[in-house]
Amino acid sequence: MRQQMPERIPGGGVDLSHLAARAQQPAQGSAPAGAPGGGQVVDIPAVVFDLTDATFEQAMQLSSVVPVVIDLWAEWCQPCKTLSPVLEKVTRQSAGQLVLAKVDVDANPGLAQAFQAQSIPTIVALVGGRPVPLFQGAVPEAQVREVFVQLLQLAAEQGVTGRVSAPDLDGEAPTDAEAPAEPEVPEAHKPALEALERGDYAAAAAAYHDVLAKSPRDAEAKAALAQVTLLLRLQGATAEDIRSAAADRPADIEAQLAVADLDLSGGHVEDALLRLLELFAERTDADERSAIRERLLDYFEVVGTADPRVVAARGRLASLLY
């Protein structure tokens, strides 16, 4: 795992050493220092839970008992919607050997920045208070299970061998009548989602184009296509290369658009929208302004047309146009 997992996150690990030091202090009911997991069983409300900037310390403490997998996601992120149910399923089947903490990057920018989330979904873990990079993007269930096995092996090496007990573990889960129903995937969308799971963004984009050719008003497919197209534009490029190109070539419109793509993919919605609006206001070339406007319209679809940030940006764009 020490060789495989970091390769999936450009830029290396996450520097949270100042927080990790605090995690060495055992939480109430946790194992003594020097024996992080200790084989103990801890009762918690749920193995899948939301994590915020304010509750991060609790996750740090829990990571001395079991690995805490962290899912950095956003409501507008289509691959996140593909991956999250898989993560939740595998976590609930883990017999309490690990937990899943879900971080909405829009609501918790501090955590997104701390974990250097260059795009989402980004999956990391905490083991004994220390960050472990796992992977980025939607991956198949088999790969998620393989990564979790490797994570538990690493945790065992670090002495984190406890378990948690919670009502939402498989075998202790709520009845079907109480469990929320998972949204049904439209049949026409399945080829695109299967391509996303394989990491084949080009095939996913082609599949969504096919959906829209037959159903031009399919809002979900339109938003998903904008998201997949964003991922395609970023594929194969590193954050460092993108930012360096933009700094070296301020007049290059494509370089500037790429930085905005990077901001959006990392959950920095306001930064991406503001960057393009300022760029639109600066440029006078009609073709460049058209390219910026089209990219903004794509972003509106990715984030969601009802999002307050999109509403504000749309109003600003209208004022610049007219």
pLDDT of 174 strictly over 50: no
pLDDT of 31 strictly over 90: no
**pLDDT by residue (tens digit) across 297-321?**
999 988 887 788 889 999 999 999 8
pLDDT band at 38 (very low <50, low <70, confident <90, very high): low
3-state secondary structure the chain: CCCCHHHHCCCCCCCCHHHHHHHCCCCCCCCCCCCCCCCCEEECCCCEEECCCCCHHHHHHHCCCCCEEEEEECCCCHHHHHHHHHHHHHHHCCCCCCEEEEEECCCCHHHHHHCCCCCCCEEEEEECCEEEEEEECCCCHHHHHHHHHHHHHHHHHCCCCCEEECCCCCCCCCCCCCCCCCCCCCHHHHHHHHHHHHCCHHHHHHHHHHHHHHCCCCHHHHHHHHHHHHHHHHCCCCHHHHHHHHHHCCCCHHHHHHHHHHHHHCCCHHHHHHHHHHHHHHCCCHHHHHHHHHHHHHHHHHHCCCCHHHHHHHHHHHHHHC
Residue-range domains of the chain with CATH: 5-165 (3.40.30.10), 187-321 (1.25.40)
80 a catalytic residue: yes
The structure's pTM equals 0.64
Which residues have C-beta within 8 Å of that of residue 164, sequence separation ≥ 6?
41, 42, 43, 44, 47, 62, 65, 66, 96, 99
Does 250 sit behind a cis peptide bond, omega within 30 degrees of 0 on the bond before it?
Answer: no
Active-site entry in 62, 77, 154, 231? 77
pLDDT value at position 109? 86
Residues in a beta bridge with 131: 126
Mean pLDDT is lowest, of 44-48, 54-58, 91-95, 195-199, for 195-199
77 a catalytic residue: yes
User: In this structure, which amino acid lies at residue 17?
Assistant: S
Total length of the chain: 322
pLDDT of 182 strictly over 60: no
**What are φ and ψ of residue 239, in 5° steps?**
-60, -40
CA gap 66, 161 in Å, rounded: 6
**pLDDT by residue (tens digit) across 105-151?**
999 888 888 887 778 899 999 999 889 999 988 888 988 999 999 99
The better pLDDT of the pair 176, 258 is held by 258
Active-site entry in 80, 100, 124, 151? 80
